[in-house]
C-alpha cells in the first residue's frame, strides 16, 4: 500500500516561485510535485488521466514501474494524483498562479507512443526544434509525454501531413494520417481551454 501525501506547493518554493532547495531529496520531491501540477493543469478533461510521469516510489527498494495519474478538482482547487501500481497517492494544494499552473497558458500536453515518436523523428522532416523534447521525456508505459504550444503543434502537423501526402508507402501514409487526426483533435482542445 502506498503513502498518501498532503502537500502545499508553495511550502517548497521561495518568494519568487523558485525551488528553495537547490539539491538533494527535497529538491527531487519538489520537481516531482511541480511536474504533476504542470501536467494536471495542462489537461482540459476533468477526469483522471495518465501524465507520463513515472512514479517515484521504491517499494522493496526497487523503482516502481507505474505511471502517475492526475486529476484537477476545480471545485476544491486541489490536484489529486495516484499511481495505480503501488497505490502511492496525494493531494497538492496552493499551486495556483505558480509558474507550473498551465490553466491559462496555451501549452498542450501531448502523449505519444514510442512508435509515434519514432515515426515523427524518422519519417518526417520535423527538426530538433520540434523533436528535441522527445529525448528529454520520460518513457512510461511505452509512451512519452511532451508539451507544445499551438504554433509548435501546428508546425508538427504540417510535417506529418506533408509526409503522408507524398509517401508512396500506403501503410506509412495510413499511420501518419491517424497520427495527424489524433494530434489535430488535441490542437482543438486549446479552444476549450481558453473557455474554462
pLDDT in tens, the chain (196 residues): 668 999 999 988 888 777 776 678 888 899 999 999 999 998 766 788 899 899 999 888 899 999 999 999 988 889 999 999 999 999 999 999 999 998 888 888 898 999 999 999 999 999 999 999 998 887 887 889 899 988 999 999 999 999 999 999 999 999 999 999 999 988 887 665 555 5
**Cα 88 from chain centre:** 19
What pLDDT is attached to residue 107? 84
Distance CA 190, CA 29 (A): 30
- Give me the residue spans of the domains in the chain: 4-93, 108-195
CA nearest to 177, candidates 169, 122, 125: 169
What pLDDT is attached to residue 14? 82
Rounded to 5°, the CA angle 97-91-63 comes to: 110
What pLDDT is attached to residue 27? 86
Q: Is 74 exposed, middle or buried (0-12, 13-18, 19+ CB in 10 A)?
A: exposed
**Can you count the helices (H) and strands (E) in the chain?**
5, 7
Amino acid at each position: 500500500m502506498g503513502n498518501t501525501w498532503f502537500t502545499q506547493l508553495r511550502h517548497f518554493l521561495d518568494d519568487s516561485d523558485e525551488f528553495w532547495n537547490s539539491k538533494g531529496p527535497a529538491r527531487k520531491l519538489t520537481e516531482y510535485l511541480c511536474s504533476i501540477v504542470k501536467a494536471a493543469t495542462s489537461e482540459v478533461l476533468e477526469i483522471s488521466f495518465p501524465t507520463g510521469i513515472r512514479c517515484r516510489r521504491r517499494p522493496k527498494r526497487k523503482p516502481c514501474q507505474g505511471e502517475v495519474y492526475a486529476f484537477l478538482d476545480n471545485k476544491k482547487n486541489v490536484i489529486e494524483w495516484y499511481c495505480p501500481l503501488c497505490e502511492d497517492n496525494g493531494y497538492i494544494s496552493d499551486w495556483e498562479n505558480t509558474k507550473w499552473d498551465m490553466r491559462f497558458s496555451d501549452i498542450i500536453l501531448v502523449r505519444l507512443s514510442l512508435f509515434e515518436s519514432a515515426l515523427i523523428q524518422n519519417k518526417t522532416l520535423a527538426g530538433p526544434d520540434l523533436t528535441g523534447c522527445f529525448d528529454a521525456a520520460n518513457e512510461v508505459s511505452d509512451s512519452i509525454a511532451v508539451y507544445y504550444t499551438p504554433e509548435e503543434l501546428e508546425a508538427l502537423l504540417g510535417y506529418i501531413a506533408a509526409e503522408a501526402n507524398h509517401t508512396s508507402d500506403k501503410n506509412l501514409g495510413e499511420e501518419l494520417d491517424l497520427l495527424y487526426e489524433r494530434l489535430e483533435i488535441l490542437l482543438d482542445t486549446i479552444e476549450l481551454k481558453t473557455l474554462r
